Amino acid sequence: MITAAQTAPLVVFDFDGVLVDGMAEYWASARLAALAVAPGVVLPAQAPPAFAQLRPLIHKGWEMVLMALELGRPDLDVPALLATYDAALPLALARWGVSEHDLQQALEGERSGAMAADLGAWLGLHRFYPGVIERLGRLASEGADWAVLTTKGGAFAQQLLQAAGLEPWALYGHEQGSKSEVLAQLLAGAGQGRPIWFVEDRRPTLELVRSQAALAAVRCFLVSWGYLAPGDGLGLPGGIAWLEPNAFVAPLAQWP
């Protein structure tokens, strides 16, 4: 807990699955990008249930496009893919003859095109989780700043934040490097000597942070909402706190 005698933290939030639910947009953009890469693939307009099952495992945007391609395979074994996700990625890239860069470029191209064609419609495919906008607005009264650290392109996250009237202390998209790299930079000086708190919905990301001695000072929180895999909240290792909505809206001094 923080007290009046301690320095208020810089609270660093993941974006998708912590602040914003964009599942409808993920599928819409990933589907169009997949069709651009492989025009012959057949994909439904609405996200299939398997896409939601895969979403907690997806770390970067290009993976969404690759999973859309995989979901176009009639012979896809979804349980096997879920069980061997990390190992399946290079195999799927080879199967479709594409690179991570190809898929990321296709995804960002489709997103840019959708925003240019009808920004309001694109924004409408996202929703901020209940209470998020109000809670972010109260951080300043506690002396805390907040930042966004996302694997989404920074320009796309910025559009959503602006539409909600939100101005973070800083915004780091995938262009700025990995989450571990950005957190290390914040600890080294950009955070101005303040405690760094990191709020995520992806347990593997937090476990990676916890495994790095250089990031030992980062205080980690796993939210109970967002794109969690079954059992993600069970048996959390030391240094990762479980953050539920009632704690999230409470003063920072009461966070677990």
pLDDT tens-digit series, residues 24-79:
999 999 999 999 999 999 999 999 999 999 999 999 999 999 999 999 999 999 99
What residue ranges define each of the domains in the chain, with the CATH number in brackets? 10-21+127-254 (3.40.50.1000), 23-123 (no CATH)
For 185-201, b/e burial (b = at least 16 CB within 10 A) is ebbeebbeebbbbbbbb
Sequence-separated (6 or more) residues with CB below 8 Å from residue 184: 214, 215
Q: What is the pLDDT of residue 4?
A: 43
Give the rounded percent of residues in the chain with a pLDDT score beyond 70. 96
pLDDT digits (tens, 9 = 90+) for 88-125: 999 999 999 999 999 999 999 999 999 999 999 999 99
Instruction: Report the chain's terminal Cα–Cα distance, integer Å.
Output: 7
pLDDT at 2 over 90: no
pLDDT at 250 over 60: yes
CB 71 within 8 A of CB 49: no
Sequence-separated (6 or more) residues with CB below 8 Å from residue 69: 34, 37, 38, 41, 92, 96, 98
Q: How confident is the model at residue 192 (pLDDT cuts 50, 70, 90)?
A: low
On average, the pLDDT of the chain sits at 95
The residue-averaged pLDDT of 81-86 equals 96
